[in-house]
Structure formats: structure tokens, C-alpha cells
A and B are shown apart, each in its own frame.
Chain A
Amino acid sequence: MNNVFAIRKYIIAGIFGIACIAFVFRLFYMQVLNDQYKLDASNETFRHITQYPPRGCIKDRNGKLLVTNEAAYDLMVIPNQVKDFDTNSFCSDLGITKTDFITGIRKAVQLNTNAHASVFMKEVTPEIYAAFEEKMYKYRGFYSEVRTVRNYPLKIAPHLLGYLGEVSKELCERNPKYREGDYVGMSGIEESYEDALGGKKGVKITVVDAMNKEVGDYKNGKYDTLPNPGENLTCSLDATLQAYGEKLMQNKAGSIVAIDPSTGEVLALVSYPEYDPNLLVGNIRAKNYGKLVMDSIDIPLFNRALMAAYPPGSTFKPIEALIGQQEGVLTLNTSYSCPGAFRLGNISIACDAAHGTLQLEPAIAKSCNTYFCNVFMSMMNNRQYSTTEEAFEVWRKYVMSFGLGTRLDIDLPSALRGNVPSVDYYNRFFGKGHWKGSTVVSLGIGQGEMLLTPLQLANEAAIIANRGFYYTPHVIKSIGDKNITLKKYTTRHYIPIEPKYFDVVVEGMSEVVDEGTAAASKIPGVVMCGKTGTAQNPNGRNNSLFIAFAPMDNPKIAICVVIERGGWGAEWAAPLASLMVEKYLTDTIKRPEIEKRMLDGNTLQYLAQEKNAPKHTKHKK
């Protein structure tokens, strides 16, 4: 019929065939060769939801909860899945401004690109979240992750417990365990025990539909992993004592460190002014943190107990007495006469009074500057050593063996070393051979270039309490169910001074409280040994210091109190320390008038008065 056109059936069939083969090739490319589609599909359909483990709680030595957890919701966003929606209602639901919204999205894109989940808003409170969740289906690309935030029921010990902060970019890169936006311990116990407290994150894979609605678990949770909760910690702190210490410190600047000398456990660690730890939690954290950092007058984030270095003043004299005896230049009966000042050449160091001729024990009790300047000179001029430099080096080694001028290996970050000046230092300062014992004699009474931290001074008290050894101070008692048996916290560090030399020092220190400089701080029924310190403060009024331990036999507590600008050691530090000791040992305060004077006292006023004076920079981080 149409024979001319017979070939056309092949052409038409050929066109159909070529088209279908092209489709098959395209299918082969899309389904077999190309993996991007599979990736895209799993990215948009499977949502990997991080299961944050609850962080471990922290308890005090008696089981009182210091740090617990509260639920909070992180609002996550995957920018390239966000579709048009009513931003106005979105913002008002969350209580944010439009600018917050725009910067939030922009930040998410910058951090994790368009295709990955980022935190859009951190720690939405349960109240706001409950209302928002119902409308979430309208906001494609958004979803929530539950996590916990810290809560501090007792509101105490902010410096010791530390706070959480967002993990740094460097740490994220170094440790794949962390993801941008995670929280880690940034200071205190939270930082040093991050690994134990942090636990292990889990992941839950859910399937979401195109409306951003979760429709179920992927393969019934076969590929999910459960989070491992963080371990609970028991720290050595005595919450009652700590709270009492913080109460006593109100309107003062300074710190209290109390140690159990028989174990090295820290019982209280107060740094004042302080802040309510609940301020650095949740989505109010950033704002409050900024405020605390900017406070250059109170510097509340600064942990004075570990980082502030003060001249120890007379609290250093017991160490002088011990080194002198061990070196053989001082005995119980060594006597010097005090005319009211130590004079040598053109040097003159005043004493509180003309103590007359006195021996070692009363010299400690009365804190005689003349006596201890003489002791220091006798050490510097010791004929055993050919030069002053050599004698000084020996003296310095003894001092350092007390942990002074070294970084005590406490389990808290950022403890500082203080400073015990070296031979090199003076050689540089005065020139080699241009200084001698008398040049640096003020070291003998804890002045001069020597700077020590409250922790070091408390440890000094513990060493004297133990008559010659110490355990490295630490704040941890147990992790989970396991007691801490770390060698570094169970090893006695002995001082190269024979125990017999301690007797006279302990006697002298008990006299300090009994009838000496701190007689007003005597505790009824408790024999406390202490030593006052009134240290010159280059920035203003003298610092008031006191170190002590009690009872005299089998001591249970060693303590150091520093009150900046407090004046005499006996004026603030000694009574305050005595109240702490009384509280810890007897659980009751039988001297309400002293307690009242401490609570009402305000030494911050002196700082305010000095504000016009040149700014001190010593305490800056």
C-alpha cells in the first residue's frame, strides 16, 4: 500500500527506541553512578538527633547537692530546608527580635553551612518551648534537641564549681567528641573533671516527612545509640562551712581556704566578691558573663583563693622559725633584744612595740619583727656557706619545700605559683655581688618581693598542723561510686625539717591565740594555733591575714583567711578564721558578738576610698 514509506516505520520505532534508551542511561547515571542523590535523601529524611547525656551532679562531702540539672531545649535549624514562613509570629513565639532572627540564621550558615544542623537558639525555657512546639510544623527546617542545663540549689562556691561555656572551635577540631555549640566546663571542677562529668552523647535517628514532622524512628531505633550519663562527683567541700564562709565574707574582698590536714581535702574555698552561679546558666549566660567580666572593681570571676598573690607578712614567721632551727642557727633559747625596731646600717624595720629581750616562743606569739629579722640575718650570714648567694639559695629551697612559690597540683585549673624571689632575680635587680642579707632582710618577715596565694598559706598551716608533711590539696572525694585513690592525693610530701622543731612553733602559735596577737579570737573549748599577718599592700591599706589550725593535737582543720585592706591581721582575718574553725569543729557559734561584727564589717569601703589612687593591675587574669 504505502511501500514507499515502508522504511518510515523503522524510523519512528527508532526514535521511540532512542528516547527510551536515553531514559535508561539517565536512570543508570542517577541511580547507580551518582551518590549525591542518596546523600541528599538521607540528609533530608533522616534527622540525627543528638541525645545529650545529663551531666553528672556534684555533691559536697556530706552528700548535699551542689550542682544539679534542669531540662532545656535547643532550637536547631537546617538553613537550606527552611521554607518561607511568617517570621513575625516565629519571633514573637520565641520572644526574640527580627534582628536576632536574621543574625541567628546567618550565624548558622557561617558555622555549619547551609545543609547542616546548627543551633539557632540555645536553651529555650520549658515554658516558651511548650507553646512553640505546637507550631513547629509551620517552620520547616527547625527542630529541637533536649539537653540539660546546670542548676545550683545552694548558690555557693561558684569559683570552685566553675561554669560551663561553649566549646571552642579549636577543641572541636582536636576532639571529635565535641560539636560546635556544645557546652564544656570552662573553670573549676567543671573544667578539671570534664571527662567524668560530661558523659557520652548518643544519637537517635528519626524519619521526617516533607512537612518537617517526625514520623517515627528509623528502623525502630536499630541504629540509635543511648547517651551515657555523666558520673556524679562528690567533692571534699563542706557545704555548710562554705556557705558560712561566704556569708562572713560579705562586703569584703579576699578569700578563705580551709583544708583537712590529715587528707589534704579542701573543706572550703571562698573567693569574694563572688557571683550567683545560676547567673551563668542557660540563655542568660552570655549577657551576665559579659557583665561579670566587665566588673573591674569587684572582679567577681577572679578566683582569689588560687590566683591572687599577697605578701604573707607575719604568717611567714613560723617558717622562718622552722628553717632557722633545722639550719642550726636558732634554738628554743636563742634570744634577741627588741628596741622597737630592727636596725642595721641604714635599714630600719619597725616593730609594733619594744618587746625587750625575748626567746623564740614568745617572739612568735608577739610576732616580733626584730627577732625574725635577726633570725633571717643569722641564716644569711651562716658560716657554713661561703657566700650570701649560697645561703640564700638554701633558704629558698626550704621555703619552696613548703609548696610556696610552686604551683600546688590542686585539681582545679589556674592555680598560680606566687613568687619566692631567686638569686638570679636579685642579681638582675641589684647586680651580682651588690646585695647581701641585709638588703633582702624584709623577706624574713614575709614582706619584700615574696608573694603567696591563699591556698599556699592554708597548705602552710596544714604542714605545721601535721608537724612536717602535707597531702597535695584537692577538692575531689569520689567519682561515681569510686573513691579517689590517685597517688598524687594520697602521698605525703615531707618537709626536710625534723618534726621536733615543730613543737616550739606550734606552742608559739597556740600562744598567739591564747594570749598573743590574736587573743581576741580565742574559741571556747578549742585549742587553736594561729598566726596573724599584717602585710603591706602597695595599693592601699594593709591586708589582714591569718593562718591557723585546730585543735592543737590531731588537727581537723587548717585555714587561711585573707581580707584585702582589712588592716591588722587580728582585726578581721583572725576573728573570721576563728568563726570558721568554731563552726566546723563545734557546729555552733558561741560568740555572737564577734560573728555580728564580722557580718556587719565592710572592708570594701576602703577600696572605694582608694578608687582615685592609681589602679592596681596585680589581680588581673
Chain B
Amino acid sequence: MNDRRVSIVPYIDWFTIGVYFFLVMVGWFNIYSAVYNPAHPGLFDFSQRYGKQFIWLTTAFVMAFLIMLTEASFFSVFAYLLYGIIVFSLLAVRFVGKDIAGSHSWFRIGSVGIQPAELGAFAINLGLAKYLSNENIKMTKMAVRLKAIALIVTPILFILLENETGVAITYTSFIFVMYREGLSGNILLVGFLTIVLFILALVGSKIVLSCILLGIALAALFLFTRRKRKDITKVGGALALGLLIVWGTDFAYKHLEAHQRKRIDVFLGSNVNKNKEGYNLNQAEIAIGSGGAWGKGYLQGTQTKLNYVPAHATDFIFCTLCEEWGFVGAAFIVLLYLTLLVRIIFLAERQRSAFSRIYGYGVASLFFIHIAVNVGMTQGLIPVIGIPLPFMSYGGSSLWSFTLLLFIFLRLDANRMQILK
């Protein structure tokens, strides 16, 4: 490594930092509005969530600053070590963790709770980037795929043990990273079709669905192939997989936990009581819809502020935004997120180092799945899954982990002129 100190400031991507800062500040003002307490109007009143969020965001800024001071090579060199420490703490929290809201996943140090699950994504991202950036790696090799998947699945298993299904689901986003690094696009397609089939099997008739699959298989066989043995095996295999998904749906559905089944029911709109299991989603939709085109105005939201929408400062913070800023404000934020995602992809693509690129894609993919699932669930497009909206939801550990993810990438990017090993 070269010991010559070069200022990285000219190489820092200030645009991304600007977007990050804007989103964090919007989030903070939004939290202020969501939990606004007339008895404690001060933005810095630390007894209120907006006061606490100020502490979280200041410490996040300090952390970002410290990351920028760190040598870029630190992260690639110690990638596996950091991965190991975090995975170990995920296991440890099983035994010394505290129960908060049904999840046995918090370390408590004084009055501060730390949820190592939030760091799981960071660990996987580091480990995966390190592994895939090895020069001899080819995604086409089955062994490589399995090792990569093992890197992802190990933390997922521990996290599932802690009942953090939502967090575990976000890790599926690494499929984008693997796709970028050479995984067959068919796997992406198969994953997508599996979800579609699962939903169709839940709402529709399985027999009709099976007949349609059979029809498609036969049509494919006769129209697009020469009906050689190889073709028949392929199409037959695909058909078998499709039928397995369709007829296995009920089995899978039945083995979900009751609250997960309910969330799927709510999402599908079947047999839902708007005052019971459907309450959260219904209220979230009402809050969003009632915002109208221009919103009710800052601090003027009723559905969120009056507690109709649950968790309106954390997982459902997007509702507060939609209600008070209307379509104009909400669409702006969604498009700003998209801008950030595209920017990160752009930055990742300009890396000379495979580690930095892969890490960058991991950041973009994780941000994307959090945004998509969170925004999608408040709109009723996705079953309710309790995960935070990056930079906007109230809470220290989520803000820190998103900041950590992003700024390590920005640090790597600032160092892009040097090739990392």
C-alpha cells in the first residue's frame, strides 16, 4: 500500500452526500411532525423522539466523518474479520439479548438498544464483496454460487432465529449483486415467477393454474424447440417446478406464523376485517390518500398525528410524509430515492476495484429493497413487513447502519484512483 497521503476531498462524491443529508433532514422534520407534542415544542427536546433523532443523526454524521478518515483498504483487508464478528454477535444476542416487540434481537447497553440484525446486511455486503472480488471467481461455477449463498444464508439463519423475518427478507436483495457479477438472469426470472405463482396460487384456482402451466409448457415445447430429449427435459423440469410451487403454496402458507398469514391475507384483501388485522394497512392507505395532491401542510396531518396509523414515526413514516406533503412531496421523495440508487450504481460502475463495485451494488440493492418494501407496504402493494425506510424512519440503529453502508462506499469511491487488493 502506498503511504503517501493524498487528499481525498476532491474525489468525494458530494452529490450523494447532498442527497443523503437532505433525506436525513427531511426525515428528522418529518419525525418532528409525526410525534409532535405541543407540550414539548422544542426541536431539540431530548425527551421527545425528534430530540432523540437529533442525537442519532449527529452521531451518524460523526460516524460518517470518521469513516472518511479511515484508510479505504481497511474495509477490504478486514472484511472477513468484520463479517465474523457480526455473525458471532448475531448468535450471541440469542443468549444475552433483550426482548423488544417480539424480537429477541437487542443488546441493551444502558438505555441504548443495539440491534445487531441491522448490521447483518453490512457484514454480508463486506463478506460477499471480498469473496466475489477474488480473481479466480466465476459465478458460473456451482461451488462459487453455493459459497456465496452460504455467506448470505448464515446470518439469515441466525436472524430468523431472532424472529426478524423482515430483516432476513431484505437480504434477498443480494441476488442483484450476484446477478451483476455473473449469475444467470434465469435465476432472477425464476425468483420473480415463483413469487407470482405463489400469489396466484393463493388467490386463484390451483387446477386452472396447473392447466395454464401445462398449456404454456406444451406450447413452448412445440413452438420454440425441436423436441429433442434435452428440450423435453428442460421444459418438463420447469413445468414440474411450477406445479410444485402451485401445489406447495398451501403447505408453505400453513407453515407461516399466524401474523404472517394475516399479513398475506390483508395484502390479498381476502376475508379482512378493517378493524382488526386489516386495520394497519387500511389506516396507512387512508392517511396517504387523504393527503391529496398538495398535502395537508406541515404539522397539519390528522391520521398520523392522531395515532390512527400505527408506528407512524418508524416503519410507517412514509404515511406522515404523504399526508402532509401530498402527492407532490411523496413523489418527489420517491424519485429522489431513485436518483440516489441510480447514482450509487453509476458510482459502482466507475470503480476499478471489483471489491468496491460489488460493495456498491450491495449498498444499492439493500437500499432498494428497504425502500421498495417499505413504500410498497404502506401503499398496499406488498404485505406488511416491518422494516425501516432508509434515512427517514425514527431510530438510531437503522440510521447508523444505512449511514455506515453508504459512507464506506463513498470512502471506497473516493479512493477509486488506487487499485485495492
Contact = CB atoms under 8 A, between A and B. Distances in A.
Interface string B325-356: 01100110011011001100100010000100
A5 B365 CA distance: 17
A82 B275 CA distance: 8
Contact of A16 (B179, B181, B331, B368): B368
Interface stretch (B248-256, B263-271, B285-293): B285-293
A344 interface: no
Interface stretch (A27-35, A235-243, A482-490, A577-585): A27-35
B288 A31 contact: yes
B372 A19 contact: yes
B374 to A, nearest CB: 10
B334 A23 contact: yes
B286 A37 contact: yes
A30 B331 contact: no
A215 B185 CA distance: 55
Interface stretch (B81-89, B115-123, B302-310): B302-310
A38 B179 contact: no
B322 interface: yes
A211 B274 CA distance: 16
A547 to B, nearest CB: 69
A211 B307 contact: yes
B306 A208 contact: yes
Interface stretch (A39-47, A164-172, A372-380, A493-501): A39-47
Interface stretch (B92-100, B229-237, B238-246, B375-383): B375-383
Contacts of B285: 30, 37
B303 A45 contact: yes
Given A37-B285, A210-B307, A23 B180 contact: no
B256 to A, nearest CB: 24
Contacts of A209: 306-308
Interface in A415-467: none
Interface in B26-62: none
B331 A27 contact: yes
A27 B274 CA distance: 21
B176 interface: yes
Contacts of B289: 30-31, 34, 36-38, 40-41
Q: Which of A9, A16, A36, A42 has the most CB of B within 10 A?
A: A16
A80 interface: yes
Interface in A520-559: none
A177 interface: no
Contacts of A208: 306
A215 B308 CA distance: 13
B331 A24 contact: yes
A32 B354 contact: no
Given A37-B288, A37-B289, A44 B308 contact: yes
B182 interface: yes
Interface string A1-36: 110010011011101110110111011101110101
Nearest to B337: A20
B254 to A, nearest CB: 26
A83 interface: yes
B284 to A, nearest CB: 10
B181 to A, nearest CB: 7
A41 B179 contact: no
A28 B292 CA distance: 9
Given A5-B180, A45-B302, A45-B308, A38 B331 contact: no
B304 to A, nearest CB: 10
B359 to A, nearest CB: 15
A207 interface: yes
Given A40-B286, A210-B307, A27 B181 contact: no
A31 B345 contact: no
B421 to A, nearest CB: 15
Contacts of A83: 275
Given A37-B288, A80-B275, A207-B302, A19 B308 contact: no
A41 B327 CA distance: 16
Contacts of A80: 274-275
Contacts of A210: 283, 306-308
A9 B348 CA distance: 10
Contacts of A11: 179, 185
A17 B372 contact: no
A351 to B, nearest CB: 84
Most A-side CB within 10 Å, residue of B285, B291, B302: B302
A397 B322 CA distance: 81
B290 A40 contact: yes
A22 B381 contact: yes
Contacts of A44: 286, 303, 308
Contacts of A27: 288, 322, 327, 330-331, 334, 379
Contacts of B274: 80
Contact of A38 (B292, B354, B368, B375): B292
Contacts of B381: 22-23, 26
Contacts of A45: 302-303, 306, 308
A41 B303 contact: yes
Q: Could you say which of A11, A30, A215 has the most chain B C-beta atoms within 10 Å of its C-beta?
A: A30
Interface string A65-87: 00000000000000011110000
Interface string A170-209: 0000000000000000000000000000000000000111
A242 to B, nearest CB: 55
Interface in A475-514: none
Contacts of A26: 379, 381
Contacts of A41: 286-287, 289-290, 302-303
Contacts of A37: 285-286, 288-290
B182 A28 contact: no
Contacts of B185: 8, 11
A23 B381 CA distance: 9
B418 to A, nearest CB: 16
A5 B283 CA distance: 44
Interface string B210-232: 00000000000000000000000
Contacts of B361: 12
B282 to A, nearest CB: 8
Name the 5 nearest CB pairs between A and B, nearest first: A37-B289, A41-B290, A209-B306, A210-B307, A31-B327
17 contacts: A1-B354, A8-B179, A11-B179, A12-B176, A20-B334, A20-B337, A23-B375, A24-B334, A27-B331, A28-B331, A30-B289, A38-B292, A40-B289, A44-B286, A45-B302, A80-B275, A207-B306
Interface of B: 176, 179-182, 185, 274-275, 283, 285-293, 302-303, 306-308, 322, 326-327, 330-331, 334-335, 337-338, 341-342, 345, 349, 354, 361, 364-365, 368, 371-372, 375-376, 379, 381
Interface of A: 1-2, 5, 8-9, 11-13, 15-17, 19-20, 22-24, 26-28, 30-32, 34, 36-38, 40-42, 44-45, 80-83, 207-211, 215
Given A20-B338, A20-B371, A37-B285, 20 more contacts: A2-B181, A11-B185, A12-B176, A13-B345, A16-B364, A22-B381, A26-B381, A27-B334, A30-B285, A30-B288, A31-B292, A31-B293, A31-B326, A41-B303, A42-B290, A44-B303, A80-B274, A82-B275, A207-B306, A210-B307
